[in-house]
Amino acid sequence: MIKTTFLAVISHWRYRPIQLITLVTGIALATALWSGVQAINSEARASYARAASVLEQANLQQLITGDQQGIPVETYASLRQAGWKVSPVIEGTVRLGGKRIRLIGVDPLTMPQSNDAPLVKDASDLAEFIRAPGVILMSAETAAQLTDVQGLRIKLSPSVPEDAAFVDISVADRLLQRKGKVSRFVIAPDQSPSLPPIGKISPDLSIRAGGNGTDVSSLTDSFHLNLTAFGFLAFVVGLFIAYSAIGVTFSQRRGTFRTLRSLGVSLKSLTAILILELTVLALIAGSIGVAIGYVIASFLLPGVAATLQGLYGASVVGTLSFRAEWWLAGLAMALLGTAVASAQSIRQLWNMPILASAQARSLATGAERSLRVQAVLGLLLLSLAVLLTWVQGGLVTAFGILAALLLGAALMLPAVLAYTLGRAERWARKPIPRWFWADTRLQLPGLSLALMALLLALSANIGVGTMVSSFRTTFIGWLDQRLAAELYVTARTEEEAERLRAWLPSRVNTVLPIWSVDGDVLGKPVQIFGVADDATYRENWPVITGGDDVWDKIASGKGALVNEQMWRREGLKVGDRIALPGNFSVDVVGVYSDFGNPVGQVLVGLGAFGQHYPNAAKLRYGLRVQTSELDRVRSALIDDFGLPADAIVDQATLKRQSRAIFDQTFAVTGALNALTLAVAAFAMFSTLLALAASRLPQLAPLWAMGVRRRKLARLEVIRSVALWAATYFVSIPVGLALAWVLLAIVNVEAFGWRLPLMIFPIDWIYLGLAALGAALVSVYYPVRLLSKVAPAELLKVFTNER
């Protein structure tokens, strides 16, 4: 009996293969985008954890100091002689042959053995590593980019993250000019009992707990939250498809259900069979979804890797490994999504009297009531969004605002459309237009979910598009300000830099030293730059706040400019005094924008810089040159001075590279945007297809009254396009609101900079055209079915055979 019932229930799919495809596609798409994004996230996080464990042995406890200069070597001797098994690390950033890499100097004699990345395999490795000139251990990718390694022997190791290298501690000491001072100690896991407390040996040291919490993963959290939000949005849109498909199949199978129930199948077993059927479908669709998600992720991951590298300097491997956790998560999401999407249909099945069959009108009446409820709920959510913007919260609040805004707008949409249609109906005079508007209003409840999905996709598109374009415009303007010098040169050695300083002045208009040191300010790593007192800065530097005398104060050595992200993160105010490394205190006199930089930056006068950091590398210079002189100066630098060509970069190249990095960064966003829109178009298509079948009772009377099928079909097309258009117009303000939230709230929280909102109506037109195209495509097949429907089918409406 159960088997027969089951076969009866699923026989439906044989007659409606398109519905089956729609349902499976809906769930699969929802799962695909969700699990694709999750795959990217988990891959990136695994990369950070791997990098942290390789680079910092982050799983082990560390001893760190508050002293900028580092830990004296005597402390090391004291710790070891007291029995503490600690291993010293000297690390920092070094420029090797024009490329900056993170150099980690370790002592292989005392380093706790790590299974992840054995530095030295055997005795001969060890001797080679320590013995002068020493070995530099890095990945093949990094090695390929280095032109000069200061005489070190390169050894390749795939486990070393990109842009980092291991060397012996003595090599790091020499290259980073630390005079023996240790950056931190790694504490070996096996310590003797009864050791004297660290504080007794050196009160400056503190223990940092081991674990996976790394700087880079907290920095990139915001980015991943962003991706997750996108994935979730796509998931919700996919659910709309599944929801409408399930609703349609249930209502179309009411006849079957009625027959089965009359034959004595209990409601319980019928429900169980339907749940079983949906579970099987969900698992199949979920598996397809996870597979598609894997493909999506592997296409997007290189872009994400480039973004993370560009924005945060986080190194992520560009290849995807298959992880069980997101396989399972993907299937769970598919099941959950199907459950959510089918809950209402199953509840209706329970509440419906046994013999009642589906009536479009009766469904619609119920829907009109819920329209009002939805509208009120939507209004509440929009109010909540506005309210939340007043609350100072973190990134989670920011995403709360986004969610409330989008959901609120989506819930309000049917009401807004219904109102508009009502106005149109009243305005129309002739019978067919009046019928047209009234009938559209009748269809609205059935279409509203698809339209809501469309609204979400269009708004997200406009919102994210506006954000990216605003960012791009601002960024390019900022590049023009920031890259004011015509040429940038980097000397290979201090000796060469000294010759360069003597050689340049007679040949260029101005030489602008670009000297910096890394240090901790307010407990966080920052870069400190010395700037010359020059018109280039006075005229061009992108200062956001600060008085007219900013540059005089900088030149005097008492003032400092900080970048926007540091200013926001630390809640600094102009006039605040900050302590820089090396007993150097300065007043914050202004703030400048500094896009694409994850860390804080402080600008001080060149004189004061040289005084406090006499050992800073003095290798980089910006050169002001007449445009007409550019080529002559460049060739003189190469031919007369003897600088290699790759040590000279001109402004145009630098800008081109920066723009390329920027565009690469947002390629992922663009791809996700397009995918979401595609999912929404599919939702529309599946809804129209589902509705087409139930349209006959409404259309048959008109046909009987003499309206030709062709005209009816045309009206159907106009209806769909009109609904699309109305949704599109609603999406513009919603999208702009979204853009504002992204620029003014999410960006500030995630990256530490605020951007002006700029409007790009031309993009909306493109989007509108794309949406129109999608509307026409999605309406084409259902309408073609309708225009070709046999007159006999239409006649049947008037018989009792339905």
Looking at beta carbons only, is 74 or 221 nearer to other proteins?
Answer: 74
Q: What is the CA radius of gyration of the chain?
A: 33
Question: Does 122 help bind other proteins (rule: CB under 8 A)?
Answer: yes
Q: Which of 56, 91, 107, 570 binds other proteins (CB under 8 A)?
A: 107
Distance, CA of 229 to chain centre = 8
| DSSP run (H or E) holding 530 | strand 524-531
Q: Assess 177 for contact with other proteins (CB under 8 A).
A: no
Q: Which is nearer to other proteins, 175 or 301 (CB)?
A: 175
Q: Are 680 and 770 in contact (CB under 8 A)?
A: no
Residue 178: phi and psi, rounded to 5, are -95, -5
Task: Note whether 628 binds other proteins by CB under 8 A.
Answer: no
Q: Which long-range contacts (CB under 8 A, 24 or more apart) does 365-374 make?
A: 367/444, 367/445, 367/446, 367/448, 368/445, 370/445, 371/414, 371/415, 371/418, 371/445, 371/448, 372/415, 374/411, 374/412, 374/414, 374/415
Among 125, 141, 277, 533, binds other proteins (CB under 8 A): 125
Between residues 125 and 629, which has the closer beta carbon with respect to other proteins?
Answer: 125
- Asked if residue 76 binds other proteins (CB under 8 A), the reply is yes
Phi, psi (rounded to 5 degrees) for 562: -120, 155
- Least distance CB 89 / other proteins (angstroms): 11
DSSP 209-256: PPSS--HHHHHHHHHHHHHHHHHHHHHHHHHHHHHHHHHHHHHHTHHH
For other proteins, the closer CB: 193 or 203: 193
Site membership for other proteins, residue 123 (CB under 8 A)? yes
Name the segment binding other proteins (CB under 8 A); options: 74-82, 430-438, 581-589, 730-738: 74-82
124-132, 342-350, 524-532, 746-754 -> range binding other proteins (CB under 8 A): 124-132
CA proximity to 327, closest of 292, 295, 287, 297: 287
Contact region with other proteins (CB under 8 A), list: 118-126, 368-376, 451-459, 588-596: 118-126
- Contact flag: residue 425 with other proteins (CB under 8 A): no
Q: Least CB distance from residue 75 to other proteins, whole Å?
A: 10
Which residue in 59, 93, 110, 298 binds other proteins (CB under 8 A)?
110
What is the rounded CA–CA span in Å between residue 721 and residue 526?
54
Shortest CB 128 distance to other proteins, Å: 5
The residue range among 60-68, 73-81, 407-415, 444-452 that interacts with other proteins, by the rule CB under 8 A, is: 73-81
Residue 124, interface with other proteins (CB under 8 A)? yes
Phi, psi at residue 192, to the nearest 5°? -65, 150
Options 25-33, 68-76, 690-698, 718-726: segment touching other proteins (CB under 8 A): 68-76
Pick 87 or 470: Cβ nearer other proteins = 87
Q: Which is nearer to other proteins, 190 or 495 (CB)?
A: 190
The distance of closest approach from Cβ of residue 133 to other proteins in the complex, given in angstroms and rounded to an integer, is 11
Supply the minimum distance, in Å, between the C-beta of residue 66 and other proteins: 22
Contact map string, positions 139 to 168, toward other proteins, x by CB under 8 A: -----------------------------x
| Cβ 560 vs Cβ 551: under 8 Å | no
73 binds other proteins (CB under 8 A): yes
Work out whether strand 153-156 and strand 205-208 pair parallel, antiparallel, or are unpaired. unpaired
Contact 546, 591 (CB under 8 A): yes
Q: Which tokens sit at 401?
A: 């605002």
Binds other proteins (CB under 8 A): choice among 14, 15, 66, 81: 81
- Among residues 46, 82, 291, 696, the one that binds other proteins under rule CB under 8 A: 82
Q: Does 128 bind other proteins (CB under 8 A)?
A: yes
Ramachandran region, residue 705 (left: φ > 0; alpha: ψ -120 to 50; beta: rest): alpha
Segment contacting other proteins by CB under 8 A, of 61-69, 128-136, 204-212, 464-472: 128-136
Q: Which stretch binds other proteins (CB under 8 A): 71-79, 558-566, 755-763, 773-781?
A: 71-79
Q: Establish if 716 lies at the interface with other proteins (CB under 8 A).
A: no
Closest to other proteins by CB, 125 or 141? 125
Residue 489 CB, shortest distance to other proteins, in Å, is: 31
DSSP strand pairing (584-592 vs 600-605): unpaired
CB of 675 to other proteins, least distance (A): 53
CA distance 528 to 550: 17
Cα separation, 445 vs 368, in Å, equals: 7
Work out how close the CB of 109 gets to other proteins at its nearest, in angstroms, rounded to a whole number: 4
Task: Kindly tell me which residue out of 56, 91, 163, 173 binds other proteins, with binding defined by CB under 8 A.
Answer: 173
User: Measured from the CB atom, is 88 or 161 closer to other proteins?
Assistant: 88
578 DSSP β-pair partners: 586
Q: Which is nearer to other proteins, 126 or 654 (CB)?
A: 126
The whole-angstrom separation of Cα 420 and Cα 717 is 19
Give the C-alpha separation, 498 to 637, whole Å.
Answer: 14
Phi, psi at 561, each rounded to 5°: -100, 140
Residue 132 touches other proteins, criterion: CB under 8 A: yes
E strand or H helix at 138: strand 135-138
Tokens of residue 575, six digits: 């006039």
Size of the site for other proteins (CB under 8 A): 34
Among the residue ranges 125-133, 202-210, 482-490, 634-642, the one whose residues contact other proteins (CB under 8 A): 125-133
Tokens of 233: 């949005």
Q: For residue 759, give the H/E element and its range.
A: none
193 versus 614: smaller Cβ distance to other proteins: 193
Q: Which of residues 180-209 bind other proteins (CB under 8 A)?
A: 180, 190, 192
| Amino acid in position 283 | L
Among 109, 328, 535, 769, the residue binding other proteins under the rule CB under 8 A is: 109
Residue indicated by tokens 């490795």:
125
Query: How many angstroms separate the first and last alpha carbons of the chain?
Result: 27
> Can residue 675 be called a binding residue for other proteins (CB under 8 A)?
no
Q: Are 374 and 411 in contact (CB under 8 A)?
A: yes
Find the DSSP H helices in 111-197.
Answer: 123-130, 140-145, 169-175
- Per CB under 8 A, 91 contacts other proteins: no
Q: Distance between CA 737 and CA 757 in Å, rounded? A: 10
Q: Which two tokens stand for residue 273?
A: 């069979």
Would you count residue 45 as binding other proteins (CB under 8 A)?
Answer: no
Rule CB under 8 A: choose which of 170, 269, 473, 536 binds other proteins: 170
CB of 171 to other proteins, least distance (A): 8
- Residue in 30, 44, 58, 90 binding other proteins, rule: CB under 8 A: 90
Residue that the structure tokens 């707008």 belong to: 409
660 in contact with other proteins (CB under 8 A): no
- Of how many residues is the chain composed? 802
d(Cα 374, Cα 687) in Å, to the nearest integer?
20
Residue 157 tokens, joined: 């190791």
Chain residues in the site for other proteins (CB under 8 A): 73-74, 76-78, 80-83, 85, 88, 90, 105, 107, 109-110, 122-128, 130-132, 168-170, 173-174, 180, 190, 192
